[in-house]
């Protein structure tokens, strides 16, 4: 590959525009460091983005996809349609692809990567998980000596911002969401973030990076943050916890867990201190121990930093294998077969500690009857805190030891039916084990 | 390069032994992930380490250096002599070198890397800075789109453990050091750690990674932690700071600063929360913004994780350039010339905020005369806190705004001469700007 690297960009929104801008601004420094002169030859968007891309601007995506001089196509438009089609077309035309698009990789990564393997090109997607944090590269390369046992990530900046505001400034969910929207951290329709879809896509990608296989998204347990109330945050704080939306990937070598849900984290855990719209990924490897990567998980420039590092990696390593010259499973890891689909551990069998907030009628014997139900279902209680009573109704927080989800759910069902229990207000998982 | 990668290890202490152990334990997984079958063919130590290395064990270093089947020599013995000589011999014999040895790279990296460039082999040293944290790889590859403006690192676990114990458990320096020694975090002679030499080596290596040049170690400002007292830690805490030993590399594109000294860090800064023997490196890039990498900066297994990632990188990328086939300055970055020696910004001109603790005779007008000296030297005061008085002597803490080192030192000299000032007890830099 020559020193000049011609790149085509599809999608000139926040990320794509930053890619164009930074490649221009830091061109000399990148050339000095890597010997590569990266040029944006064409940049496509349906909106007029001449002000961003200058003479490279085009409205016609085929100007990017069919340009024989373009070696690398950067896809920064997001979404599945038509991004997937453009990516596959670029691959078919012998171009490597760098993308920041978590949804298309989470949903169609298996097909896309297989197509790239067969075409002898690369598909890299560092920017699809946690923006500027080089977590994929770290897992793939820097930590390849390790069996990765667990990844716990704050991978969605919007929800972390909302939870931080609810915690620090006692905002309600709605107030915090409104501020996030005003700051541009949340979209007008925040569903994708607050219901955990975005985190789910990222968890699927991280699971792929760690295992080489793919996960069916509908197998991933997903719970957003809309049920978290300022009361839960305050009660959690009282007993030494903060609440974060976590993506959890756990691999004991036999069974794989992938799940997204709010979690009470001990206040001294490094993840507990990750606030505002920052992201962080906590990794446990069997050799390296505990590692954490912290940074801006979104935004044009940080995400562009990751996109450009992928461009440079493709340009430096070249096509990893081509047709008959393929290196087999050496280094590139390609066997040109579809990656396996992974079976996840049933959520029923996942063990967690739990925080349970419930309202009970304030009568003698209430705790005894609740405790008795837990005991029958073999669920063990760690801590009970009563948070006052208005004379007739008391609010109680119960922290459970680690128990199987199935047993917890059965116990909660039975507890909800007790005459003395008015309602189970919230149930949140506790801790990183 | 074939699928089998023969490695020779020199030095079977904590790190070398872990390298041998983990390569054996995770051999299958590494093969599955990378297609590389990494084998320790020879492992050398003067002590009998048959129990660690089995039939690969040898007492004779030439069995490693002269084995034509060994492609990569791992140097994990530490120190300059004879490590440097072994590294250069391995290079001369056409072998790439992976080392965890910060001292030899900080002192002789320029010569070693030049020798490797000329021999067409690689020298990698991820493990030399912050053990298992893949900071060098991140700076070199994942962040290559960025101009790195600043690196602030807690890069020495021993001093961080001591400062954490002094802060959390109110230990004196001596008590904390003793506990660190008992836990194996500090050596019998702790000079290298507590006086900041270890952090200085790492700062020089980080400066090299960021700039491509080398720094003369005697140009690096270095201050250890032996002067930090529990009183300073308590006073700092009162005004919202913790004290950490930082390695600071700052590059504004014109002048380069490299220095190691204790620093008051605001308690909400991510680095402030890095405790015990953990390391963390905070990086500011012009695109990526703020990033932090956190993990175990020492210990056999974490450091071995970094050594093995370098082994796999060498094995995967092969010799980056050889003789006439050299890629010039493309990708490998080699120009086969000695890397430049870097001139550092004079410490006189470095700007910092300062914490100054002094004892004064408790008389009217003391603060006025101190303030007048600062004012004459154009040093501006941000905050003054008087910490009680025994009737005759008062302890005062002064926080200064950012000022040039030269002006601060001149002011302090004049203040020390004031009749009302009994002594200047401590002077510590404040903040990460």
pLDDT digits (tens, 9 = 90+) for B133-184: 999 999 999 999 999 999 999 999 999 999 999 999 999 999 999 999 999 9
- Measured between alpha carbons, how far is B404 from A127 in angstroms, rounded to an integer? 40
Residue A318 has what pLDDT?
Answer: 67
By DSSP bridging, strand A341-342 and strand A57-58 are unpaired
Residue A335 has what pLDDT?
Answer: 56
Residue B372: name the closest of B359, B383, B381 by CA: B381
pLDDT higher than 60, residue B224: yes
Residue B44: name the closest of B56, B36, B31, B32 by CA: B56
pLDDT band at B328 (very low <50, low <70, confident <90, very high): very low
pLDDT higher than 70, residue B329: no
Nearest-neighbour CA in chain B from A370: distance (Å): 39
* B141 contacts A138? CB cut-off 8 A: no
Contacts of A386 (CB under 8 A, 6+ apart): A394, A395, A396, A397
Query: How many CA atoms does the CB half-sphere of A124 hold within 13 Å?
Result: 30
- Helices of type H across A183-259: 191-194, 197-211, 230-238
Strand partners, B280: B154, B294
Is the Cβ of B337 closer than 8 Å to some Cβ of chain A?
A: no
Residues of B in contact with A290 (CB under 8 A): 295-296
Q: What is the chain B residue with the closest CA to A307?
A: B145
Can B89 be counted among the known catalytic residues? Answer: no
pTM of the full structure: 0.94
Residue A214 has what pLDDT?
Answer: 97
Residue B134: name the closest of A34, A211, A249, A139 by CA: A139
Which DSSP state fits A141? I
Is the Cβ of B143 closer than 8 Å to some Cβ of chain A?
A: yes
pLDDT higher than 90, residue A336: no
Is the Cβ of A26 closer than 8 Å to some Cβ of chain B?
A: yes
What is the arithmetic mean of pLDDT over A188-199?
97
Contacts of B168 (CB under 8 A, 6+ apart): B275
Q: How far apart are the first and last CA of chain B?
A: 47
The CA-CA-CA angle for residues B200, B206, B212, to 5°, reads 125
Contacts of A109 (CB under 8 A, 6+ apart): A125, A204, A205, A208, A214
pLDDT band at A326 (very low <50, low <70, confident <90, very high): very low
Q: What is the chain A residue with the closest CA to B316?
A: A331
The region, left, alpha or beta by phi > 0 then psi within -120 to 50, assigned to residue B281 is beta
Contacts of B364 (CB under 8 A, 6+ apart): none
pLDDT higher than 90, residue A334: no
The active-site residue out of B49, B84, B89, B202 is: B202
Residue B176: name the closest of B222, B229, B224 by CA: B229
Residue with tokens 């140009």: B219
By DSSP bridging, strand A341-342 and strand A214-215 are parallel
Q: What are the angstrom distances between the C-alpha of B216 and each of A386, B191, B208, B344? A: 63, 20, 11, 9
The tokens describing B122, both together, are 């690689």
- Measured between alpha carbons, how far is B73 from B40 in angstroms, rounded to an integer? 10
Q: What are the angstrom distances between the C-alpha of A218 and each of A155, A258, A259, A261, B55? A: 19, 11, 11, 15, 50
State the DSSP string of B374-388.
HHHTTPPEEEEEEEE
Residue A233: name the closest of A241, A225, A221 by CA: A241
Residues of A in contact with B315 (CB under 8 A): 331
Which DSSP state fits B12? -
Is the Cβ of B327 closer than 8 Å to some Cβ of chain A?
A: yes
Task: Write the ipTM.
Answer: 0.93
- Measured between alpha carbons, how far is B336 from B115 in angstroms, rounded to an integer? 9
Residue A391 has what pLDDT?
Answer: 81
Residue A337 has what pLDDT?
Answer: 73
Residue percentage of chain A with pLDDT more than 90: 89
Is the Cβ of B145 closer than 8 Å to some Cβ of chain A?
A: yes
Torsion of CA A327, A333, A338, A343, to 10 degrees: 160
The active-site residue out of A42, A202, A244, A345 is: A202
* A35 contacts B309? CB cut-off 8 A: no
Residues of B in contact with A285 (CB under 8 A): 132, 305
By DSSP bridging, strand A278-285 and strand A214-215 are unpaired
The tokens describing B204, both together, are 């020089």
pLDDT higher than 80, residue B2: no
Is the Cβ of A36 closer than 8 Å to some Cβ of chain B?
A: yes
Chains A, B: CB contacts under 8 A, how many? 196
Residue with tokens 């056999």: B300
Q: What is the chain A residue with the closest CA to B33?
A: A333
Strand partners, A294: A280, B292
Which DSSP state fits B149? E
Residue A338 has what pLDDT?
Answer: 85
Nearest-neighbour CA in chain B from A117: distance (Å): 15
Residue B26: name the closest of A328, A331, A287, A213 by CA: A287
State the DSSP string of A386-429.
EEEE-SSEEEEEEEEEEEEHHHHHHHHHHHHT-TTEEEEEEEEE
Residue B433 has what pLDDT?
Answer: 67
pLDDT band at B335 (very low <50, low <70, confident <90, very high): low
- Helices of type H across B79-186: 83-92, 102-119, 135-137, 157-168, 173-182
- Measured between alpha carbons, how far is A336 from A324 in angstroms, rounded to an integer? 12
Q: Find which of B274, B287, B328 to mutate to test the A interface (most A CBs within 10 Å of its CB).
A: B287
Residue A86: name the closest of A54, A117, A115, A57 by CA: A115
* B302 contacts A289? CB cut-off 8 A: yes
* A301 contacts B330? CB cut-off 8 A: no
Given a contact cutoff of 8 angstroms between Cβ atoms, the answer to whether A273 and B273 are in contact is yes
pLDDT higher than 90, residue A327: no
Which residues 197-226 on chain B approach chain A with CB closer than 8 angstroms? 212
SS3 B81: coil
Is the Cβ of A318 closer than 8 Å to some Cβ of chain B?
A: no
Task: Read off the pLDDT of residues B262-273 as tens digits, 9 standing for 90 and up.
Answer: 999 999 999 999
pLDDT higher than 80, residue B92: yes
Mean pLDDT lowest among A100-104, A217-221, B378-382: B378-382
SS3 A250: strand
Given a contact cutoff of 8 angstroms between Cβ atoms, the answer to whether B378 and B150 are in contact is no
Peptide bond into B96 cis (omega under 30): no
The tokens describing B219, both together, are 């140009």
Residue B337 has what pLDDT?
Answer: 73
- Measured between alpha carbons, how far is B51 from A292 in angstroms, rounded to an integer? 34
């Amino acid at each position: 590959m020559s020193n000049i690297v011609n790149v085509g960009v599809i999608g000139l929104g926040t990320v794509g525009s930053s890619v164009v801008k930074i490649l221009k601004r830091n061109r000399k420094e990148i050339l000095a460091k890597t010997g590569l002169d990266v040029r944006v030859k064409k940049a496509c968007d349906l909106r007029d983005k001449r002000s961003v891309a200058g003479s490279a601007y085009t409205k016609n995506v085929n100007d990017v996809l069919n340009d024989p001089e373009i070696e690398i196509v950067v896809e920064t438009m997001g979404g599945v349609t038509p991004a997937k089609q453009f990516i596959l077309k670029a691959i078919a035309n012998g171009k490597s692809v760098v993308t920041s698009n978590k949804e298309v990789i989470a949903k169609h990564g298996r097909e896309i990567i297989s197509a790239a393997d067969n075409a002898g090109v690369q598909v890299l997607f560092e920017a699809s998980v946690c923006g500027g944090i080089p977590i994929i590269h770290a897992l793939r390369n820097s930590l390849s000596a390790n069996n990765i046992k667990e990844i716990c990530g704050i991978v969605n900046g919007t929800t972390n911002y909302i939870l931080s505001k609810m915690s620090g400034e006692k905002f309600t969910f709605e107030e915090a969401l409104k501020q996030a929207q005003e700051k541009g951290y949340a979209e007008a329709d925040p569903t994708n973030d607050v219901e955990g879809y975005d985190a789910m896509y990222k968890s699927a990608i991280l699971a792929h990076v760690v295992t080489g296989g793919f996960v069916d998204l509908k197998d991933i347990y997903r719970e957003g943050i809309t049920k978290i109330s300022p009361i839960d945050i305050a009660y959690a704080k009282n007993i030494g916890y903060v609440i974060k939306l976590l993506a959890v990937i756990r691999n004991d070598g036999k069974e794989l867990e992938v799940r997204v849900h709010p979690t009470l984290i001990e206040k001294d855990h490094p993840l507990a201190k990750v606030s505002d719209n920052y992201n962080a990924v906590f990794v446990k490897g069997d050799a390296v121990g505990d590692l954490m990567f912290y940074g801006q998980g979104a935004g044009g420039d940080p995400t562009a930093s990751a996109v450009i590092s992928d461009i440079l990696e493709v340009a430096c390593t070249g096509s990893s294998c081509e047709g008959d010259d393929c290196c087999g499973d050496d280094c590139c890891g390609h066997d040109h077969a579809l990656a396996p689909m992974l079976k996840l551990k049933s959520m029923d069998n996942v063990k967690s500690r739990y925080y349970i907030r419930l309202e009970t009628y304030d009568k003698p014997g209430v705790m005894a009857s609740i405790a008795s139900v837990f005991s029958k279902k073999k669920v063990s209680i760690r801590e009970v805190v009563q948070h006052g009573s208005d004379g007739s109704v008391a609010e109680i927080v119960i922290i459970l030891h680690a128990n199987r989800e199935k047993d917890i759910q059965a116990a909660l069902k039975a507890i909800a039916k007790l005459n003395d229990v008015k309602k189970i207000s919230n149930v949140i998982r506790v801790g990183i084990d």
